[in-house]
Amino acid sequence: MNDMFENLPFRPADILLPQDCDLSLWSVVACDQYTSQPEYWQRVEEQVGKNPSALRLILPESCLEGPSVETDIMDINNTMSRYLREGRFQEYPSALIYVERVLSGGRTRRGLVGMVDLEQYSYEPGAATPVRATEGTVLDRIPPRVAVRKNAPIELPHVMLLVDDPEKGLIEPFSAQTGDMKLLYDFDLMERGGHVKGWLLTPEQREQVAREIQARKTRAGQERDGLVFVVGDGNHSLATAKECYERRKGLTNPGQWPGLPSRYALCELVNLHDEGLDFEPIHRVVFGVKPEELLDALMEYYPSAVRGGGEGHTLVFSVNRWSQGEVTVRNPSARLEVDTLQRFLDDYLANHPRAWVDYIHGGDEARALAEEREDAVAFLLPAMDKGELFPAVINYGALPRKTFSMGEAQDKRFYLEARRIRV
């Protein structure tokens, strides 16, 4: 480990990149996307065919509850081991990779691929660690993900950390320095994923990163309760990595903990203020309900609520093309509309086992789902201002789950890089 990164929460990693294969077929989108659209994953399956691919190293979340999940996990671990034996990867020791991702809409998002120190991260409420979750962790979502990771020899990241860097001094300067770097990859992503390029930072550039992060860590300790980075995407994946690391610690002499590969998790660091980074709302569609009964229950749950707009938290709903409206909760105790809605939904679903909710990224898609069925209600939420994120985490802790999405599904991180997590 490079001494200049000692005690820093983000640092270089021994990064594995696939070689001697078609990268456009290797790289697939994060496993937690398109969970309600199995046809997407079927198309990817057909495109990949028998070619080497990260598709063989991940388990789409839509399959986590499937009948063959244990066999699927075993196949994934075996494929990881086989790819390592076959020399499918080239390793870049102590590497940081500068990434430029041209998104589906044409804008560019910049990032740095390295690894986060899990000793400096926590998803627990009230945590004061340098790296924190932005989303309330649903504990029963962790065990099935642990089952995927616990025996895996390598990891593939879709976690994105965010840094609050309005001056753009950490990542953005490298856009003018690519001529000094080795180009590692440059290819189109499948399924409207855009284009991605990655360069290997030089030793001098790594030192530059270390200095910038150290300055931010020092300033964070002085000005904002020590918070340096937050988890933008992949909250539950990073929580899973933390859980696996804690289990490994329990089986290992404490003197060996600093050298455990599982102490770290590969991720991409992105500036919150990057022009290519948008915060999109995540809407709720409730199924298996009588719409008017659900809306009446909402009014009963919040006695201050009124139909229509007004002062407070206004919740926009759509039942079908002829039935749309608003419910306003006056004098809300929650800080965000999504929090007000989610509190009600959690209570309602607990008492109505036949009802369920799906989390939808696009407003049109949410409305369409409600229009297709007589037993559905779509709740359409406003977007969160990016500038509110760090203050909210500092002042209130993690936000309600599914508060925001960083762009549309096709713009999420694609799997490409890997790292060994078992000796």
pTM, full prediction: 0.90
Beta bridge partners of 121: 131
Q: Which amino acid is at 234?
A: G
Mean pLDDT, range 111-123, rounded to an integer: 97
**How far is 73 from 64, CA to CA, in rounded Å?**
10
**How far is 335 from 333, CA to CA, in rounded Å?**
7
**Pair 172, 270: CB distance under 8 Å:** no
Positive or negative: CA dihedral 80, 412, 198, 390? negative
Positive or negative: CA dihedral 345, 348, 350, 356? negative
Longest Cα–Cα distance of the chain, Å, equals: 66
**Pair 249, 260: CB distance under 8 Å:** yes
**How far is 406 from 233, CA to CA, in rounded Å?**
7
The closest alpha carbon to 5, from 133, 117, 98, belongs to 117
pLDDT band at 1 (very low <50, low <70, confident <90, very high): very low
Quick one: tokens of 232?
């933008």
Question: What are the backbone angles phi and psi of residue 11, rounded to the nearest 5°?
Answer: -155, 170
**Pair 410, 29: CB distance under 8 Å:** yes
List, as own/partner pairs, every contact residues 145-149 make where C-beta atoms lie below 8 angstroms and the sequence separation is at least 24, other chains included: 145/64, 145/236, 145/237, 145/240, 146/240, 146/243, 146/244, 146/247, 147/69, 147/70, 147/73, 148/59, 148/73, 148/76, 148/240, 149/240, 149/241, 149/244, 149/421
- For residues 320 and 107, the model is more confident at 107
Positive or negative: CA dihedral 101, 103, 106, 109? negative
CA 219 remoteness from chain centre: 26
Domain boundaries, the chain: 3-278+408-420, 283-380
Question: What are the backbone angles phi and psi of residue 387, rounded to the nearest 5°?
Answer: -65, -15
Question: What are the backbone angles phi and psi of residue 70, rounded to the nearest 5°?
Answer: -65, -40
pLDDT tens-digit profile of 291-331?
Answer: 999 999 999 999 999 999 999 999 999 997 668 899 999 99
Assigned architecture for domain 283-380: 2-Layer Sandwich (3.30)
Torsion over CA of 35, 108, 390 and 162, rounded to 10 degrees?
Answer: 70
**Pair 145, 236: CB distance under 8 Å:** yes
pLDDT tens-digit profile of 69-100?
Answer: 899 999 999 999 999 999 999 999 999 999 99
pLDDT at 343 over 90: yes
- Percent with pLDDT over 70 in the chain: 99
Mean pLDDT, range 387-396, rounded to an integer: 89
pLDDT tens-digit profile of 163-207?
Answer: 999 999 999 999 999 999 999 999 999 999 999 999 999 999 999
- For residues 320 and 28, the model is more confident at 28
Residue by residue, DSSP assigns 176-193 as G-GGGSEEEEEEEPSTT-
In this structure, of 37-41, 74-78, 137-141, the range with the lowest mean pLDDT score is 137-141
Question: What are the backbone angles phi and psi of residue 155, rounded to the nearest 5°?
Answer: -120, 150
Quick one: tokens of 161?
């950390």
Mean pLDDT, range 60-65, rounded to an integer: 81
